[in-house]
Amino acid sequence: MHRDRFYTLSASCPDQVGIIARVTGFIAQHGGWILESSFHADEVSRRYFMRIEIKADSLPFLLAEFRERFGKEVAEPLAMDWRITDSAVKKRVVVMVSKQEHCLYDLLARWQSKELDIEIPCVISNHDAFKGFIEWHGIPFIHVPVNKDNKAAAYAEIARIFEDVRGDTMVLARYMQILSPELCDALAGRIINIHHSFLPSFVGAKPYHQAYERGVKLIGATCHYVTSELDAGPIIEQDVIRIDHSDAPEDMVRYGKDIEKTVLARGLRYHLEDRVLVHGNKTVVFR
């Protein structure tokens, strides 16, 4: 990662001749210095994807003016879906957790060491088990109980909190509740989950026990965006580990915790660095 401030432009549009020339030509026209670029043409959907990092101080104007000029001169003529972000503005990540601590601990360790250079405005949980631990880190802890009778009100409160703290991304660090369709739709592409299975296999509860019963030789974890369809959102990152006939479900759960931590951290980093472009129920990830 560069030390200098930079802007990240990520975009997709219908595939056609001259896309790179139009985009990079606009940047060069204004003296922009490209630090990194990635491109991908999807032959099936005939859609083109790109991610470009531009040295901020090489441009003669601020980000707001870039947005206005680029939008009119390049994005609109190309029918482009696009965004541009500033490396100087830290992303605000709201963490959700239930009773399992391993992903939470890992994220907080990466945050504390600046490996994840983010702001965590709060941690929300449907239990109060980690209240002291979270507050010891200087992070506000918010307890929002969830039961079968209050789900609509609980998720409305979570949505309100997310808006109040100006959250950019919500991370389910083993938050073991199914979010409401309304919340999923309101924050589409902004809620990241870690599922303790190599999706699409073994969705829902106790996937390691399902895997044990099936006799698989590989288990894994999946980082994906949350949608209203359970465990079926666009996949960002996955990994696996080999097991054998001697491993009990409890062994598989233990092995899986290590994979879950690393897969969630990688997937979150790709998202925060604007390396993930969603197209339908698939993603393009520029690593």
Give catalytic residues, as residue numbers. 231
Residue 1: count of CB within 10 angstroms of its CB: 8
* Span between the terminal Cα atoms of the chain, in Å: 12
User: SS3 helix, strand, coil % of the chain, rounded to 5?
Assistant: 35, 30, 40
Using CA atoms, how far residue 245 sits from 23, 98, 250, in Å, is 54, 31, 13
**What is the DSSP code (8-state) at residue 165?**
T
Residue 120: other Cβ atoms inside 10 A: 23
Query: Which residue type sits at 115?
Result: E
3-state secondary structure (DSSP) of residue 39: strand
